[in-house]
Structure 1
Amino acid sequence: MSITLYELVGSDETRPFSPHCWKVRMALELKGLSYECEPVRFTEIPTVADGSARTLPVLRDGSRLIVDSFKIAEHLEEAYPERPTLFGDGAGRAYARFIEKWVLMELHPLITRIAVREIHDLLDLPDQNYFRRTREMRLGATLEDVTRSRDEARPKFASALQPVRAVLDEQPFLGGAEPRFVDFILFGALQWVRLVSTFPVLAKDDVVDIWFERCLDLYGSLGRSYPACEG
């Protein structure tokens, strides 16, 4: 069966930047599955999945359509049990779910403060209009006002990662000796910043940055095949 990943892009449709789509890309790579990527802009999302999609990523696996990155990972684990595992045991799935909630609640809001205006500037005009309207409504401030506080977000971002440092001081990946979906959750967030913003969030000697570089090297250096954002 053919697999298609519908993933978010800006004006450069060859440069996917969504953290959630990157989780799925890495999961597909770990599973060793062949897949195609279909670029989708913000204003095109309602046309995906037979018109039922509201968010990305969406995965089409044969006749099945799956929405939401964690549900996609669960589908891949259950549909392809003979391939390398994304979660390990049952506790691994629960661990990944916890990390996903933590990243969404603690890191994504800080990344938004850091990069929201830069994301806007990567979009085509119709998407810029949509993005500004919806994000300013959600944030209760202009994109410019949100971004003015990003210097304050950097130390908070570094502090929030302290539990991750404690884990990575003892093992090469969050999933243990080998990468698991739990790694891809955090990787997606850091890849998001790398691809949309020139604002540095990690010091080069940070154990989290060393881990991130290790993840960029996975699967034929897939993450590095998309260069970092340049000012």
Structure 2
Amino acid sequence: MTILLYDLVPTDTQRPFSPHCWKAKMALAHKGLDYRAVPTRFTDVPKVEGGVSKTVPVIRDGERVVADSFAIALYLEDAYPERPTLFGGDGGKAMARFIERWSQTQLHPFLGSAALMEIYRLQDEENGVYFRESREERYGKTLEAVGAERDTHLAAFRKKLVPLRSMLEYQPFIGGERPLFADYIVFGALQWVRVTSTYEFLQSGDPILPWFERCLDLHGGVGRATPAAA
């Protein structure tokens, strides 16, 4: 049975952009599981599977409904143990949890604010109103004011990527010789900006870029199938 993935999209349903949905999508592809993405806009989320979650991703696998990207990865690992592992054991799960916290606290705040205005412009009128109201409440200032500050914070953001750059001197993926869910956590954050904005948050020649390109090509190029913003 095909798994359903509720996937956050703007007006253009071919441009899914949520970093968390990308984590789930890459996890499904890693496991080699058939799935169907269900395009879901911000204002659709409360209706997903009877309102099971305030956010997406949400998957339905037969009778099971699972929300939250990390919970989805854990579910897929347990439900399909015969397929390629997402974690490589309990240690990998613990490591991925650390990577998730690092990404959420060190990468997402800048990346989300850097692409904020572009994400807003991708929405239809109803979802644009929701996005503006919810994000301006979160940031305590207008979207325009948040977006105007991104160049000021860019250098500090790039410094936060030093651990990832250093690690990539030793191995091609965060997971080692092959990608694990930890890779998809960071990939989702960078893909978030790639598909919504032309903002150059990484410098040319940054060793993170070849890793990102490798991730885009994984699993038949599922990441690259969504084109970069132009």
Distance of 1:118 and 1:95 partners within structure 2: 32
In the alignment, what sits opposite 1:118?
A: 118
Question: How far apart are the structure 1 equivalents of 2:10 and 2:147?
Answer: 19
Residue in 1 that maps onto 2:83:
83
Q: Please identify runs of 4+ aligned residues in structure 1 that moved more than 4 A.
A: none
Residues 7 and 39, structure 2, Cα contact 8 Å, conserved in 1: yes
Counterpart contact for 1:204–1:210, Cα < 8 Å: no
CA contact (8 A) 2:52 2:67 kept: no
Alpha-carbon distance between aligned partners in 1 of 2:205 and 2:38, rounded to the nearest angstrom: 36
1:143 maps to 143
Residue 181 of structure 2 aligns with which residue?
A: 181
Distance in 2 (alpha carbons) for counterparts of 1:14 and 1:148: 28
Q: Does 1:223 align with 2:223?
A: yes
User: In 1, distance between residues paired with 2:28 and 2:52?
Assistant: 23
Residues 5-27 of structure 1 deviation map (CA, whole Å, 9 limit, x = unaligned): 00100000121100000001111
- Structure 2 counterpart of 1:72: 72
Q: 2:45 corresponds to which letter in structure 1?
A: I
1:87–1:181: 8 Å Cα contact kept in structure 2? yes
Q: How does 1:38-117 map to 2 (within 5 A)?
A: 38-117=38-117
| Structure 2 residue runs without a partner (length 5+) | none
Could you tell me how far 1:50 is from its partner in structure 2? 1.5
Q: Is 1:113–1:153's contact at 8 Å kept on the other side of the alignment?
A: no
Q: CA deviation at 1:214?
A: 0.8
Q: With the length of structure 2 as denominator, give the TM-score of the two structures.
A: 0.98
Instruction: Please report how far the alpha carbon of residue 60 of structure 1 lies from its aligned counterpart in structure 2 after TM superposition.
Output: 0.5
CA distance in 2 between counterparts of 1:59 and 1:112 reads 24
1:18 maps to 2:12:
no
Question: Residue 128 of structure 1 corresponds to which residue in structure 2?
Answer: 128
Aligned to 1:192: 192
- Bigger drift between 151-160 and 33-42 goes to 151-160
Tell me the amino acid that sits aligned with residue 210 of structure 1.
P
Instruction: Point out where structure 1 has 5 or more consecutive residues left out of the alignment.
Output: none
Q: How does 1:147-186 map to 2 (within 5 A)?
A: 147-186=147-186
- Whether the aligned pair in 2 keeps the contact of 1:114 and 1:153 (CA below 8 Å) is no
Instruction: Quote the Cα distance in structure 1 between the aligned partners of 2:152 and 2:174.
Output: 27
How large is the RMSD of aligned CA atoms in angstroms?
A: 0.8
Structure 1 Cα separation of the partners of residues 186 and 224 of structure 2:
16
SS of equivalent to 1:37: strand
The residue type paired with residue 80 of structure 1 is Y
Q: Which residue of 1 aligns with 2:201?
A: 201
Within 1, Cα distance between the matches of 2:55 and 2:29? 22
* Contact preservation (8 Å) 2:5, 2:38: yes
Q: Distance in 2 between matches of 1:61 and 1:207?
A: 37
Question: How many pairs align?
Answer: 230
- Give the Cα–Cα distance (whole angstroms) in 2 for the partners of residues 52 and 86 of structure 1: 25
